[in-house]
A and B are shown apart, each in its own frame.
Chain A
């Protein structure tokens, strides 16, 4: 597995966190909540495939 994906997710997380704080301070709580939700969904979509790859890798490696 590539470590670039981890740093990509970390970058998205930092970006979402900063934008969440900016939107919250400017009084747009709904948009901040939607932004947080979108960030979580995007990152989940990115890693679900990797978790599936890991399980397949273990199954093929250990002869299950």
Chain B
């Protein structure tokens, strides 16, 4: 909990520094904001890995579906980070396309689950 508070405080201070730098050097300020977002995502991923280690041993259903969840989360993190970098640089359309590609990737990863769900539904319908 204290590490979360420390990260939040550091992010707030760094946001102030970025706002000061952006007044005179917009390019350097933009690059610095990207670096800060990368630093924050490291902490988020570490928290998710902590959750994963706690969940994988607790329930067999969770452990069966955990790889799909983790892969989807990983694709979402990578695509969202890249899209945010593009949007911070002013390339909004490229960011939107990256988000669309990430959604398609998540859909591709989850296709076996969708197939399994449809098979279950068909089994109920056919009796």
Contacts and interface: CB of A to CB of B under 8 A. Distances in A.
Interface range, B side: 20 to 34
A1 B10 contact: no
A58 interface: yes
A1 B38 contact: yes
B86 interface: no
A13 B74 contact: no
Interface in B37-93: 38-39, 41-42, 45, 48-49, 67, 70-71, 73-75, 77-78, 81, 85
A3 B10 contact: yes
B2 to A, nearest CB: 16
Interface in A15-64: 16-17, 20-21, 36, 39-40, 43-44, 47, 50-51, 54-55, 57-59, 61-64
Interface in B1-48: 10, 14, 17-18, 20-21, 24-25, 27-29, 31-32, 34-36, 38-39, 41-42, 45, 48
A17 B25 contact: yes
A20 B24 CA distance: 8
Contact of A12 (B20, B28, B49): B28
B19 to A, nearest CB: 11
Interface of B: 10, 14, 17-18, 20-21, 24-25, 27-29, 31-32, 34-36, 38-39, 41-42, 45, 48-49, 67, 70-71, 73-75, 77-78, 81, 85
Interface of A: 1, 3, 5-6, 9-10, 12-14, 16-17, 20-21, 36, 39-40, 43-44, 47, 50-51, 54-55, 57-59, 61-64
